[in-house]
Amino acid sequence: MRPAATVAAQTPSPAQLQASQAEARRLSDAFVNVAERVSPSVVQIDVTSRDENADQVLRWLGRGGGDSPVARGMGSGVVFTPDGAILTNNHVVDEALTINVHLRDGRFLPARLVGRDPETDLAVVKVDAQGLVAAKFADSDTMRVGEWVVAIGSPFGLGYTVTTGVLSAKGRGGIGMNLIEDYLQTDASINPGNSGGPLCDLEGRVVGINTMIVGRGSGIGFAVPSNMARRAAEQILKSGRVERAWIGVGAQDLTPELAAMIKVDPRAGALINGVQDNSPAKRAQIKPGDVIAAVAARPVHDSHDLTREILAHDVGQTLELEVLREGKRYGTKVTLAARPGRPVPPVPVQQQGVPQPGLGLTVRDLTAQQAAQAGLPAKPLPLITGISPGSAADRAGLKTGDVIIEVDGTSEPTSTQVQQAAADGQLLLRVQRRESAFYAALRK
């Protein structure tokens, strides 16, 4: 049996319990403050894309093809400027036919794609709005591994979901998902739909843009660092594209074996394994076998460091490089050029031109038999047979195959009554979709 004094020493005193509870409340309040501060800047993004299998949903009504079927997806985004620029992931809007944005104040607005950067999986869309709450961005380089972080987004369409965790690692690369990888890693819960939403510090500043996970529920998520995301967004807003600095070398990390052979420390820098002709590095007399140890007086320890430091500067800048060659250290200057790359192809939403006119839905009457087979009153109710991408009907969430059971207060209307009611440019519909009904408001 342990002495009574030992047991007493391990039992928290009332003062210790009170101090512990106060500390827990302070941490809880910090999370609450982040959610309240950042949520007005977070949006849900809904997109439609082509889906050749979508017409199967209409077979229960006996309808064939003829319209262009679409699939729906969603993601998150963060308001970047008060006049409606929103930063998100490229994979959220890639192949999009239409893009619509849910704002925190309840508005549901169509968005246009300003530009995208597949190399980092970033994109900027814009809505017609003023006075939005733009998020503040932190310097991601100053973040420390182990710091608390908060993720906000719309996982599985559940808007404004807040999860917490820590910054698990920095400078993650080699995952093979994007051409340029320099991720922040976190164990804050990130799921499908979080993509494009912010990862924040306890000051409510964006430190990263949530991008992907490794295995659902694994506790391993990745975000594009805020410094990289902010630079890309600013360039897209300015010119519609991203121009990225480049010196024209191939680089790899030094292994202990390689370091021993060339008589340097394994963390001495990035080993150059190739130099492209007519590149800035070639003009700066850099050769395969050199080790770049510093860029603009900032130490470089591996190939990721080298890439990160080059990308942190603008095309046209001249930088001092510190190079190790054959046991000697020397300096050279390199003028950054624009990284060669293929033009970014447009997505369907960029090819559509002007918005669709009218309310954007077509209808035809079901036969009484078809309506009865669908569990509806045996009357010629209007079936929605087409939705124009980007139209008022599309923004209201209507789908091909929905059945209109009420229009402007009139129950069990015909398609002719729907057409007449739409003459003033607006409709209030009650719609049946499978076993459930809902209201939808349409306005030009």
Catalytic sites, residue numbers:
91, 121, 195
Q: What is the DSSP string of 295-361?
A: ETTEE--SHHHHHHHHHTS-TT-EEEEEEEETTEEEEEEEE-EEPP-PPPPPPGGGGS-SPPPSS-E
Q: First and final CA of the chain: distance in angstroms?
A: 81
Distance CA 237, CA 122 (A): 12
Question: Under the phi-then-psi rule, with left for phi > 0, alpha for psi from -120 to 50, and beta for the rest, what region is 297?
Answer: left
| Nearest alpha-carbon partner for 405 in 384, 430, 380 | 430
Q: Which two tokens stand for residue 119?
A: 């190399």
Q: Which two tokens stand for residue 159?
A: 């808007």
Q: What is the DSSP string of 207-257?
A: EEEEEEESSTTSS-EEEEEHHHHHHHHHHHHHHSS---EE--EEEEEPPHH
| Nearest alpha-carbon partner for 314 in 238, 211, 222, 223 | 238
132 Cβ contact partners less than 8 Å away, ≥ 6 residues apart: 41, 79, 81, 82, 83, 84, 103
217 Cβ contact partners less than 8 Å away, ≥ 6 residues apart: none
